[in-house]
Chain A
Amino acid sequence: MQKNLLIFYFLNEVMKKKILPYLFVSPYLIHFILFIGFPIGFSIYLTFHDWNIIAPMEYVGLANYKRLFYDQLFWKSLKNTVIFLLIHIPLQIIVALFLAELLNQKIKLKSFFRAAYFMPVIVSGVVITILWQQLYGFESGLLNRLLIKIGLNKIGWLTDPDWAMPSIAIMATWKNVGLYVILFLVGLQTVPQQYYEAAELEGANHLQKFFKITLPMINPTIFMVVVLSTIGGFSLFIEPYVMTGGGPLNSTLSAVLYIYKQGFFYYHMGYAATLGFFFALIILFVVFIQKKFVEKEN
């Protein structure tokens, strides 16, 4: 009798030990199925249909893909996003590295400067965008007023199709650079002091020290910054949505903004899913290439 109880108790404990982990992990599994697995599967399914939510779904085979191929506006939005990245990422790295290098010197008030540079990072993108709209205004914007005061001409920051996307890239850099200053600071601080001392003994100046020692040592940090900025940059949405609506001449239409318009303004759910899926593949591909590039370096 007691032996049975003991066996029962033992089995119970074993059961608990076995099932428990799965119970704990179950919230994530449910979440995964509902919000990751199902969406990916359904997304792919949707790409073969026409659907505007209120009408029944209509099977259209590869029509959405065909349309994607001919859709000038989509390719333009991709091009716009790439232009944005090509300006934003290098600018960000240079400015962030520069500021981090400065902050890494022996100076007082380090935490004040750090906090100041970091401020734009935490503030909502909406606030930044509204603010910069006033800076970029053609007639009475602050920047143009400054330009006129120094005797230069006004610039159509947001009204000139050649300037619009660069303007947004500059604004995005201003917003995010604080975060990367901090990241670079951490990275800079991992460089052993002896390397610098050794180089000084050999007569290296500051610039030489920077390029020969600092840069190679913080390579992993630079890589991380590049990947994070790339993924973030591909999600460009709220800035063009608020500032320019995608114009002028569709020069600030980012890929996500276009997908949003297709899905939630025209309600072409099937086509929007197709664009989203295709775009996601591109992002994965780019990140994959970046990773391979770094692994090769190492």
Chain B
Amino acid sequence: MKKTILYTVLILGSLIFLYPFIWMLSASVSPENEIGNLILLPSKINFNNYFIIFEKIPIAKAFINSLIVSGTITFGVLIFGSMVGYALSRLEFKGKNLIFYVIVFTMTLPFQITLIPQYILIVKFGWIDSYAGLIVPYLMNAFSIIMFRQYFKSIPQDLIDAARIDGCSELRIIYGILWPNSVPALITVGIITFMTSWNEVLWPLIVIRDETKMTMPQLVTLFAVGGRAESQLGLKLAAAAMLALPIVLAYLIFQKYFIQSMTSSGLKE
């Protein structure tokens, strides 16, 4: 008896969290006048809305922009984060602790204070409407440094010493020895970085005005908020569905790692 109530509540919960997405998908392929229905079994399925979107806005380009930007950022964060994390965990030098505390402090700093000057910096560099403007400020990430530092600390010193004796350069040590042994950390940092940079909208809204350079969430936001969709619900929902699709697909495939990465990062706080 207790179990049935338990399962009922849990299933109800899943419905609450999943049904809106299902509704969104079916609404995007239904005729306009049926969209208001609660249980949506469209009378006829047509992908018209999706075609219209491809015509109206450069969404494919935006998808590629997002891929390039998020991919580069993730790659950069992994490289630089491990570099700095390594130095902080395995090397001895003056100022090591100071730098570490500074990094921790910056994590608590609200972005509101750096937003405007960062924008001005980008303007002065001439990076408005460019990939550089979107990528460079995010190549370094306090969270990744702390994660890598934590993880590298737990790798046995002998492994590193052995590599040094073999004549490995320091960089080779990081990428050749530590990385293969830090796969969980890499996945955690990689997934979280990719996801947050993919979903970031405020910064692209500020830095990119040229439609062909916009990221996918930015373009969909402007499409939904601006007049282009002409208040046609089906169109807006189709655009939203397209935006959700890549991440949801990635999620379904890498599900285990997604959740793992969230929990391990939470624990390390």
Contacts and interface: CB of A to CB of B under 8 A. Distances in A.
Contact of A113 (B14, B92, B116, B120): B14
Q: Would you call the interface of chain A mostly helix, strand, loop, or mixed? A: helix
A34 B237 contact: no
Interface in B196-250: 198-199, 201-202, 205-206, 217, 220-221, 224-225, 233, 236-237, 239-241, 243-244, 247-248
A268 B118 CA distance: 15
Interface residues of B, number: 84
Interface string B51-95: 000000000000000000000000000001001101110011100
Q: Which 4 A-B pairs have the closest CB atoms?
A: A39-B117, A39-B114, A280-B113, A31-B140
A39 B121 contact: yes
From A43, A107, A114, residue with most partner B Cβ within 10 Å: A43
Interface in A44-69: 46, 53
A24 interface: yes
A269 B38 contact: no
Nearest to A273: B116
B121 A142 contact: no
B21 interface: yes
A123 B244 contact: yes
Interface string B16-43: 1110110110010000000111100000
Contact of B247 (A38, A111, A122): A122
Given A27-B140, A186-B267, A280-B110, A123 B248 contact: yes
A183 B263 contact: yes
Q: Would you call the interface of chain B mostly helix, strand, loop, or mixed? A: helix
Contacts of B113: 39-40, 43, 276-277, 279-280
B110 A46 contact: no
A112 B256 CA distance: 11
B147 interface: no
Contact of A25 (B9, B87, B267): B87
Contacts of A94: none
B149 to A, nearest CB: 11
A188 to B, nearest CB: 12
